[in-house]
Amino acid sequence: MTSIDLTKYGVKILDLVPGMRRVASTNGGEYAGACPFCGGKDRFRVQPKNNRWFCRQCGDGKWDDAIDFIMRRDGCTFSEATKKLNIPMQVKYMAETKKTIQQQKPPDQDWQEMAREIIERCQSLLFTRAGEPGLDYLLSRGIASPTMERFNLGYSPAIWIGKVKIPQGIIIPAIVGGMCWYIKIRSLPKAKGPRYLCVPGSKTNAVFGADQVNGKPYALISEGEFNAMTLDQEIGEFMPICSLGSAVNKLDMLTWGRYFLSQKTVMCLFDNDSAGEKGFENMSEMLGDRTRRLPMPGNGDVNDFFVAGGDIETWFKPFWKELNGSKE
């Protein structure tokens, strides 16, 4: 959240999210409604006095402002968001300066303890009878057992950990430097509601697999965790793999830039759509001319290609040989 009062320039979050209802009157009031990002009912909150918003289901653990809202809604850069909001140049500079100095930190120790319990409990369930739906789904996506263990995958049949309910689905934690940044829950096919949810308090703007690319001469950034795990499983011996979780997520250089200091080349494998195009533009903006976009094999994503019988290693080897100057 910036320290700039954007309401002075006619930018009110309540105007950006219709259908909100007043649920509290203290401290200027609070409004609640369905989240425009994850669809969670009554999880999206707005405080008009402070002109800030927060989602208890898919938020990043802090209250954000209108600029953050537009960036997430439209998948655009900071500068593009301020332009859409018609914010004067001076205010843009002040807000951007404020944001630049805010380095991310993983969730606090209490959350870490809860996350460890969630991961351990759900891992223990995955290979039991209760976890069969989750195991069957992972196998259908081509994820092998060693890969499940490597990435600490688990399954929740809809359980409670303390006061937090973990919905039914596949548990996907992002662990960097021994700290868990987020836990996503991938719902099973035919389940109602959004495909992905997050354990409250997760910091979703993190790099999944950041430890793998740190200090390496090359890296490959994929779109989504399942694609990253598939690539790691099939070509991890050639190239370290990571993911921002979504093509529209922008790399926070202050927090994660140090993981990409050593790379000569950073390959990007994003979907062939507008989000994928925007994702590559964002990465090029952050990492410069070291970035290279790889053509997606097949018509879907890389996991679709693999599940359909595609050979990822055979597809990737020409790019690897080119990187190493091999003519074999």
| Digit-coded pLDDT (tens) for 270-327 | 988 888 888 898 888 888 888 999 999 988 899 999 999 999 999 999 999 998 875 4
Report field, pTM of the whole predicted structure over 0.95: no
What is the phi-psi region of residue 109: left when phi exceeds 0, alpha when psi lies from -120 to 50, beta otherwise? alpha
Residue 200 CA to residue 107 CA, distance in Å, equals 10
**Cα 50 from chain centre:** 26
CATH hierarchy code of domain 6-100 = 3.90.580.10
In sequence order, which residues have a C-beta less than 8 Å from that of residue 94 and are 6 or more positions away? Answer: 2, 3, 4
Residue 249 CA to residue 294 CA, distance in Å, equals 18
Nearest to 205 by CA among 38, 46, 59: 59
- Whether 193 shows a pLDDT value over 80: the answer reads yes
Residues of the chain with CATH 3.90.580.10: 6-100
Please check whether residue 185 is in contact with residue 43, taking contact to mean a CB–CB distance below 8 angstroms.
Answer: no
Residues of the chain with CATH 3.90.980.10: 109-198
- Whether 174 shows a pLDDT value over 70: the answer reads yes
Question: Is domain 109-198 classified as CATH 1.10.10.10?
Answer: no
Quickly state the pLDDT bin for 61 (edges 50, 70, 90).
low
H helix runs in the chain, sequence order: 13-16, 66-74, 78-84, 89-100, 109-126, 132-140, 145-150, 210-213, 225-235, 253-256, 274-287, 302-307, 312-323
- Length of the chain in residues, anyone? 328
Residue 207 CA to residue 235 CA, distance in Å, equals 19
Q: 112-128: per-residue pLDDT in tens?
A: 999 999 999 999 999 99
Average pLDDT over residues 246-253: 82
pLDDT at 75: 79
Residues of the chain with CATH 3.40.1360.10: 210-323
CATH hierarchy code of domain 210-323 = 3.40.1360.10
Token pair of 237 as six digits: 């011996």
pLDDT at 95: 53
Residue with tokens 């209108």: 66
pLDDT over 70 percentage in the chain: 90
Residue with tokens 């903006």: 285
Please check whether residue 180 is in contact with residue 116, taking contact to mean a CB–CB distance below 8 angstroms.
Answer: yes
